[in-house]
Structure 1
Amino acid sequence: MKTKIQLLLALLFPILLCAQGVALQQFATGFSRPIDIKHANDSRLFIVEQDGIIKILDDQGNTNSTPFLDIDARVRSTSNEQGLLGLAFDPNYATNNRFYVNYINISGDTVIARFTTSSNPDIADDTSEEILLTVSQPYTNHNGGSLAFGTDGYLYIALGDGGSGGDPDNYAQNLQSHLGKILRIDVSGATGYTVPATNPFVGNVAGLDEIWSYGLRNPWKISFDSDNGELWIGDVGQNNREEINNVPIANAGYNFGWRCYEGNATYNTAGCPAATTTTFPVAEYNYGGSPFRCSITGGYIYRGNMYPNIQGWYIFADYCSNEIGLLEPASGNTWNLTMTGSGFSANISTFGEDMNKELYAAGLSNGTIYKIFDPTLGIEENSLTNNYQLYPNPANDYFQISNQNTASQIKEVVIYSLNGKLISTRRISTENQKITTDKLSNGIYIVQLTSNNDAVSYHKLIKN
């Protein structure tokens, strides 16, 4: 039988590899304008709500009744792009209990603040706030908001160009302004922050010490590739291009081009430096069209183990079209971009990783958290007349088999690894019997079902 399984896989998986993509599976509901998803290197997910609340979601999709942090009274969220916008946990959070937030205060300005967790690990101390940096915002939009720690241990802060349209005050190219920049600071000290000596303008009056890179319009979500440490930026365009930037952090001082360029296209080059000094995007897509695309939501490089087909792909979304975007690595350090419908009208506002590097997304308009999965793994090889399905799939502790009847009852369930190794054999006798999976490692398996008339079908099972 092992030979038969290996033959099935050889025939089946080349087909799967030709039709790759991702889809969304509902994981949890009941949130109010979720705008960021982070983990603290444990099984919890921290869901940031725009009004100023952070909630904890466990690995079974249950939400803690008490918020982790509630600073609603300190946060201004009256405009669509204001609010509590970003969260990052200190690399040493397990020992120092420190985390960082990016929010718009009651005056309408950006605040970067540090908090600590209370004696209860599920509740932060809201009196522990230390404001590290305040940046004046001239308009209500283009606030950016992402926070993330790089592999260098420094905190990266993404700020938009200050708003309005077309960057009328040229903040993104102005090195005496924090706006339209990625800032980098060292928060490892007991209080406050210092500036890394490797920041490009340290000791140079031409630019502010905190600036690490510049020339961004509204960087809506940044992330670091957990494999190579490179930075990914989804930068929202004006009315022509949505762009994706990718750079190594070993270097600094990148000029990503705005307002001189929108993506690869010229926008307003008056007073701009030579194009040869600009770091252009690794990918872009057009604003408008049908479905209507208007605002990129930056995502992550997938580095999880559950879906090998999409390993190393950058996954993002368009907020307006509700499409999931994919960047597939191609030859010569290039990327192939595709956009696919998600099937949801959720307005994807953010992506997030869990501690196992599996990906999630949040729907701003419907308050739903989704888990990213590879739908091509749901293709079945079924020789039976009944359309059997495994559920839940992905599974945690068990799965069951649907669409059975008296005439075609499943009598045996055999689980194989992807390389054809026999994992377990189970005889079942009732229609609703559960098949336990709690002893399986996370990953993908092939399940062979044999009916009471000895017909056989094969199904893929994902174990969370």
Structure 2
Amino acid sequence: MKNLYIFISCFVLGLIGAAQTVQLNSFASGFSSPVEIAHAGDSRLFVVEKSGIIKILNSDGSVNPNPFLNISGLVGSGGERGLLGLAFAPDYATSGRFYVNYTDNSSTDQPNTVISKYTVSANPNVADTSGEIILTYQQPYSNHNGGKLAFGNDGFLYIAVGDGGSGGDPQNRAQNTNSLFGKLLRIDVSGATYSIPSNNPFSSSADGPNDPRPEIYAIGLRNPWKFSFDSTTNDLWIADVGQNAYEEINKVIGSGNPGDNYGWRCYEGTHTYNTSTNCPSGGLNSTVAPVAEYPHVGSGCSGSITGGYVYRGSNFPNFSGKYFFADYCTQNIGILTENGSNWDLVFQTPNITKGWTTLGEDVNGELYIAGGSSVYKISDANLDISENETFSFKMYPNPTKNIVNLDLSGIQNKVISINIYNIQGRKILGIAPTQQKITLNIQNYGGGLYFMEVRFDDSSKTIKKLTIN
């Protein structure tokens, strides 16, 4: 007890000056090319597979056996094509509306991007497969499809559209306002058909073949592979994949100004790329400057940003207000920390490395990341004292309020005791288990950080952090 008390006390005091380190904890596996993680305002996560399937991932790490939605028969998947985006309407709890973004199977070279509306069925874990197409546009090439969908604080649906593909935006579509490519679109989907918000920059356009497209909200994007809204400030963050030299991260207050120009193809980050035609008259100063950029190093796959989220959870105070993202090529995780009017960028190589394809945020603001076939929880290693466990037990839900479940079936050694300690190191519960699956009543404990200790017959032990709301 004394040793544990000293360990926890030193551990807690050490948090004040400890270097921030990202720790990834395995949460669920068995997915096929996960490209998006979203929540619908409850404890579930919805994992989007590129082939056209959406699966429900529960808060205990289990995956429902039946998919939430399967539209694989409509989706053309391969390379950068597939089911790429998912967004639940702000009134999903009552309307059951959600929206998806996918490339169809009409062509492998020039497929259509389709934005469709679906609704949940009487079963909250299964969607109605009868969708309604909202918007389509034909891709000129097979790459740079963007695909992210998200609702802003204004209630409108934002759609990330890549520049059409190939390389270098050969037709300069990103700066051409009569093209949807290389843009952030914004539409109102609250009615039977979509409408144009009145303060979109080209809302009054006649929408002829040579007129600006009224759906456009911002221009000058290359391949915005993920954007998000800060769940506290509602500020917009866009990660834009670079051509061959720089990756960039953009942030604007709120959703920015209608008509914002993020610079591509004239500029790659803050660097001139191709200013031969149709670039802003004020040059780089007329564009939205990225809050951060980083160069490619080496040859081959040396940089491809996967945008993320500002951490607004409660489990890891050191992370609060920081923007987390990843890189598919380098397999690093990046963190932006506000420093006055600037943002400081650091990269960390996590304990697990993958080609990271998406980050996700749950209803509580905790962050997740997907790569390969697995989803991982992002945590602060300074608070994760179970990272070197030899034997693992499952503990869920966590965070929790009234009960916590323990599953000891994955442990080979004999368990002789289970103990809970508070942050001061005082043992507040101790039991000798007789079963492999145990439910503990903790409703009389105060909210805060606790430690669940499992001791084995060989004098070893393993500890996990427990958060009680």
Superposition TM-score tier, normalisation by shorter sequence: 0.7 to 0.9
* Partner in structure 1 of residue 249 of structure 2: 244
Q: Kindly report which structure 2 residues correspond to 1:449-464, keeping only aligned pairs within 5 A, or say none.
A: 461-463=465-467
Structure 1 residue aligned with 2:187: 185
Per-residue CA deviation, residues 359-387 of structure 1 (Å, 9 max, x unaligned), is 11111xx311111111111359xxxxxx9
Matches within 5 A, 1:63-462: 63-78=63-78, 80-107=79-106, 108-127=111-130, 129-189=131-191, 191-204=192-205, 207-248=212-253, 249=255, 251-271=257-277, 272-273=279-280, 274=282, 275-289=284-298, 293-330=302-339, 332-363=340-371, 366-378=372-384, 391-392=393-394, 396=398, 397-398=404-405, 413=419, 415-417=421-423, 420=424, 425-429=428-432, 436=440, 438-439=442-443, 444-445=449-450, 461-462=465-466
Tell me the distance in 1 between the aligned counterparts of 2:348 and 2:13. 21
Instruction: Give the Cα separation in 2 of the matches to 1:442 and 1:352.
Output: 26
User: Mean alpha-carbon deviation: is it higher for 148-157 or for 343-352?
Assistant: 343-352
SS of equivalent residue, structure 1 residue 124: coil
- Shift in CA distance, 132/431, structure 1 to aligned 2, threshold 3 Å: closer
Over residues 182-230 of structure 1, what are the superposed CA-to-partner deviations in whole Å (9 max), with x where a residue is unaligned? 00000111x1111101111222566321111110000001111000001
Task: State the Cα distance separating 1:140 from its structure 2 match.
Answer: 0.2
1:257-302, Cα deviation, whole Å (9 max, x unpaired) = 1001111111111231122211011011111349963200000101
The TM-score with structure 1 as length reference comes to: 0.85
Q: Is the 8 A contact 2:270 2:290 kept in 1?
A: yes
SS of 2:162's partner is: coil
RMSD: 3.4
Could you tell me how far apart the structure 2 residues matched to 1:339 and 1:154 are?
Answer: 33
- Other structure's SS at 1:376 match: coil
Aligned mates of 1:286, 1:441 — CA distance in 2: 48
Q: How far apart in 2 are the matches of 1:119 and 1:430?
A: 40
Question: 1:246 offset after TM fit, Å?
Answer: 0.8
Kept in 2: contact 1:306–1:462 (CA 8 A)? no
Asked if 2 retains the 8 angstrom alpha-carbon contact of 1:195 and 1:209, the reply is: yes
Cα offset, 1:446, TM superposition: 5.1
The answer to whether the 8 Å contact 1:390/1:461 transfers is no
Q: Secondary structure at the match of 1:141?
A: coil
Work out whether 1:46 is the aligned partner of 2:46.
yes
Moved more, 203-212 or 5-14: 5-14
Number of aligned positions between the proteins: 444
Q: Deviations over 1:237-272 (max 9, x none)?
A: 001001111112152211111001111111111231
| 1:346 Cα deviation after fit | 2.5
8 Å CA contact retained: 2:396, 2:405:
no
Percent of counterpart pairs with the same letter?
48
CA distance change for structure 1 residues 448 and 34 in 2, over 3 Å: closer, same or farther? closer
Q: Is contact 2:452–2:466 with CA below 8 Å preserved after alignment?
A: no
TM-score normalised by the chain length of structure 2: 0.84
Partners of 2:124 and 2:96 in 1: CA distance:
8
SS of the counterpart of 1:157?
Answer: strand
Report the Cα distance in structure 2 between the residues aligned to 1:237 and 1:372, rounded to whole angstroms: 25
Amino acid of the structure 2 residue aligned with 1:462: L
- The DSSP-based 3-state class of the residue aligned with 2:382 is helix
Determine the structure 2 residue equivalent to 1:384. Answer: none
Deviations 1:9-60 (A, max 9, x none): 4774345543102221111111111111111111211111101111111111
Distance 1:152 1:441 in 2: 37
Q: Distance in 2 between matches of 1:344 and 1:159?
A: 31
Contact 1:38–1:87 at 8 Å: present in 2 too? yes
Runs of 5+ consecutive residues of structure 2 not aligned to the other structure: 399-403
Distance in 2 (CA, whole Å) between partners of 1:153 and 1:458 is 46
In 2, the alpha carbon distance for the partners of 1:181 and 1:229 equals: 20
